[in-house]
């Protein structure tokens, strides 16, 4: 057992105390090499043999331990959220929250609590990439004095489903198709949209998923949400309902779809690298924690159910109270030991925080603990003969270690309409003969007994989807419509796109018409709504574009130079970008740099061929006539300007660079400037009005 003397305290770059970790033993650092039992190793180069050319001996415990551990270095990856990036930091509370919660970490203003935060994509495997269109996981582990509290959510405040019983179907449908194992990390395929089009409750989340929220610029610029309604409990037992929000210091930022694709081509680890390097250079990511607090009377007055995870409470209806900040100031020391092995569980709470009856949350309380345990075992223990049923059994559970059955086809989710396409749709529930639970009404439970049912207000699947649509700018709506068009164009099941459009007609007629036009199909009859949607006032807080900060802070500006460029112009732009809080990055045809007009050589931060404009937030092109003439023959240079223009970024250019802009199809507008003060101001923005001139949107 470790004692206090066996531990040492670690501190962040800012000197904050984080947590205690085991102090280094004699086997760590630069000391003697030992086995895991602490036995010093005399020879780590040769196994023990019977003679110089004889067989290896079984008694070589050094060899056996080393190979044994190597053989088991990989553990099963997470089913969802497999690809993650994480960091250490702290949470600092601004004010005492003793009036609403007895949780210790919220009692004393200025007190810092160590945290570990993991960001992740949802659909892809551990070996996938950072930039697909996908929801991002946002999980925070608070190491409080009362134990660990895990706030496990996403960068989207709602979820696809209302009840956890549908979660396996959601994930089966969105993952790689069961019979062909593709596509990886993408939802633009048959099974996902087949399932989603049969589940109207997904509509609100689909609006968010098809928006720019799911192609973020950086992990540092995503919001985080607890999604569910929780309860905060004060020292007297008083209860306040709460929804948790994380607000990024840099504001919410996104990419364009085309930009996200090219970011993937440029760097599969773009978000992971960005997070690591920001912390490594002292630009610590920061979020503020906000709470939406309300009582039962407020909840009862709403036209939707606060226990429904497919709904939000708009900030204009219930303001977010900012109560603290979270700073990530230390990268992990070992990816496997920390990022891969960290186990989050929504059931991990501290006194002063409690659950609500949200049916999705209730399922998560079981699922996460079970998942962590299963990573060391198998889900197929029921196939061991002593455990196996003696009667036939069939369901949509699939795969896992030691899977003995060989399921055929791709029907591994429900509902599905694959039978309409001539495929085996699999088994179906049987209300007449299936097992049912005795209601067992409890007198003290005003909600009634045990029922497989959803509250009436849960049947409204479209009002908040319409709220999301009406809260976006015209440009963002075009992105949503184009996203639906692209993804549904990948669906080969002919019955699915019309069914999805029938649902979308309940959201907005124009949206449905635009998607139908993009697909080149007739607009189907509107799907009947289980509960008629109602109009809600737009929530401006939901728009990325309407809330983007005009700032260069946390953003990078690519400065393309070549032989003959004017050093004074370059220095002026660099100084102006730095003054505005941005990061200037010099790009040249050769990584060694360029010979400037005065004969000096300026070293480049990146080579043109490996530093495309999509990794920057704005670009400056500083060329001489000679340099421009040379770059006119460089496809990478033309593409550099073309993509910056196509991705709606500011372009500052010297007069001599104009021929390159012309060849790249860059047309004059408010975002195309000279190298003066106008460029720095333009670099703080995206020029959405330009998009209709560079691509066709739905």
- Active-site residue list: 81, 154
In the chain, DSSP finds a helix count (H) and a strand count (E) of 18, 20
User: Phi/psi of residue 598, each to 5°?
Assistant: -85, 5
User: Phi/psi of residue 651, each to 5°?
Assistant: -130, 115
Q: How far apart are the first and last CA of the chain?
A: 64
**Within a 10 A sphere around the Cβ of 672, how many other Cβ atoms?**
22
Burial class (CB in 10 A: 0-12, 13-18, 19+), 679: buried
Q: Which residues contact 349 (CB under 8 A, 6 or more apart)?
A: 149, 150, 355
- Beta-carbon-side half-sphere exposure of residue 201 (alpha carbons within 13 Å): 20
Nearest CA to 208 out of 228, 194, 225 is that of 225
Residues 687 and 448: their CA atoms lie apart, in Å, by 55
**Within a 10 A sphere around the Cβ of 676, how many other Cβ atoms?**
12
Nearest CA to 592 out of 635, 561, 632 is that of 561
Q: Tell me 624's DSSP state.
A: -
Q: How far is CA 182 from the centre of its chain?
A: 20
Handedness of CA 652, 656, 657, 658 (dihedral sign): positive
The answer to whether the CB of 126 falls within 8 A of the CB of 74 is no
The answer to whether the CB of 121 falls within 8 A of the CB of 80 is no
**Within a 10 A sphere around the Cβ of 165, how many other Cβ atoms?**
12
**Within a 10 A sphere around the Cβ of 257, how many other Cβ atoms?**
17
The answer to whether the CB of 204 falls within 8 A of the CB of 158 is yes
Taking CA atoms, 588 is separated from 572, 613, 636, 653, 664, in Å, by 17, 12, 11, 15, 18
Largest CA distance in the chain: 89
**Within a 10 A sphere around the Cβ of 368, how many other Cβ atoms?**
18
């Amino acid at each position: 057992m470790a004692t206090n003397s066996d531990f040492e305290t670690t501190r962040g770059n800012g000197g904050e105390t984080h947590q205690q970790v085991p102090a280094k033993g004699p086997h760590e650092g630069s000391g003697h090499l030992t086995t895991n039992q602490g036995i010093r190793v005399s020879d780590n180069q040769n196994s023990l043999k019977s003679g110089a050319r004889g067989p290896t001996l079984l008694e070589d415990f050094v060899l056996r331990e080393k190979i044994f551990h190597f053989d088991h270095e990989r553990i099963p990856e997470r089913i969802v959220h497999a690809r993650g990036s994480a960091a250490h930091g702290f949470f600092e509370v601004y004010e005492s929250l003793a009036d609403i919660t007895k949780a210790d970490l919220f009692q004393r203003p200025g007190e810092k609590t160590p945290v570990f935060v993991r960001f992740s994509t949802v659909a892809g495997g551990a070996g996938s990439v950072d930039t697909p269109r996908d929801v991002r996981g946002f999980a925070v582990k608070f190491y409080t004095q009362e134990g660990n509290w895990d706030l496990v959510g996403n960068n989207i405040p709602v979820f696809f489903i209302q009840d956890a019983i549908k979660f396996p179907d959601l994930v089966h449908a969105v993952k790689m198709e069961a019979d062909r194992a593709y596509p990886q990390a993408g939802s633009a395929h048959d099974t996902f949209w087949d399932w989603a089009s049969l589940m109207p409750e997904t509509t609100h989340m689909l609006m968010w998923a098809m928006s720019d929220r799911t192609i973020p610029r950086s992990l540092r610029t995503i919001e985080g949400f607890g999604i569910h309604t929780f309860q905060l409990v004060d020292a007297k037992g008083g209860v306040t309902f709460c929804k948790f929000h994380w607000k990024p210091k840099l504001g919410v930022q996104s990419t364009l779809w085309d930009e996200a694709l090219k970011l993937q081509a440029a760097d599969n680890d773009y978000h992971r690298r960005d997070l690591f390097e920001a912390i490594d250079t002292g630009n610590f990511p920061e979020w503020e924690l906000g709470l939406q607090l309300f009582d039962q009377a407020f909840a009862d007055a709403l036209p939707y159910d606060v226990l429904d995870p497919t709904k939000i409470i708009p900030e204009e209806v219930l303001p977010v109270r900012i109560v603290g900040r979270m700073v990530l100031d230390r990268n992990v020391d070992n990816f496997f030991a920390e990022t891969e092995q960290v186990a989050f569980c929504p059931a991990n709470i501290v006194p002063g925080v409690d659950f609500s009856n949200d049916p999705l949350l209730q399922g998560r309380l079981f699922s996460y603990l079970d998942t962590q345990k299963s990573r060391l075992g198998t889900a197929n223990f029921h196939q061991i003969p002593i455990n196996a049923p003696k009667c036939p059994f069939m369901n949509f559970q699939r795969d896992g270690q030691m899977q003995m059955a060989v399921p055929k086809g791709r029907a591994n989710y429900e509902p599905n309409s694959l039978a309409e396409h001539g495929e085996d749709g699999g088994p179906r529930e049987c209300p007449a003969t299936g097992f049912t639970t005795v209601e067992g009404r409890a007198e003290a439970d005003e909600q009634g007994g045990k029922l497989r049912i959803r509250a009436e207000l849960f049947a409204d699947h479209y009002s908040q989807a319409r709220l999301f649509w009406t809260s976006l700018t015209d440009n963002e709506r075009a992105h949503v419509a184009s996203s639906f068009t692209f993804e549904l164009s990948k669906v080969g099941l002919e019955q699915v796109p019309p069914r999805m459009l029938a649902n979308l007609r309940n959201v907005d007629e124009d949206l449905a018409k635009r998607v139908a036009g993009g697909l080149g199909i007739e607009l189907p009859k509107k799907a009947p709504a289980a509960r008629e949607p109602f109009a809600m006032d737009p929530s401006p807080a939901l728009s990325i574009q309407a809330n983007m900060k005009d700032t260069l802070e946390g953003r990078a500006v690519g400065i393309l130079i070549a032989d003959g460029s004017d050093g004074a112009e370059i220095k002026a732009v660099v100084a102006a970008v730095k003054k505005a809080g941005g990061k200037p990055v010099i790009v040249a045809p050769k990584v060694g740099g360029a010979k400037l007009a005065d004969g000096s050589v300026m070293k480049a931060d990146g080579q043109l061929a490996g530093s495309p404009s999509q990794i920057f937030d704005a670009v400056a092109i500083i060329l001489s006539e000679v340099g421009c003439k040379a770059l006119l023959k460089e496809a990478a240079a033309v593409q550099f300007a073309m993509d910056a223009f196509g991705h709606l970024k500011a372009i500052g250019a010297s007069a001599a660079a104009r021929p390159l802009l012309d060849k790249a199809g860059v047309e004059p507008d408010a975002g195309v400037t000279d190298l003066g003060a106008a460029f720095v101001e333009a670099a703080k923005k995206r020029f959405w009005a330009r998009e209709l001139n560079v691509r066709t949107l739905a």
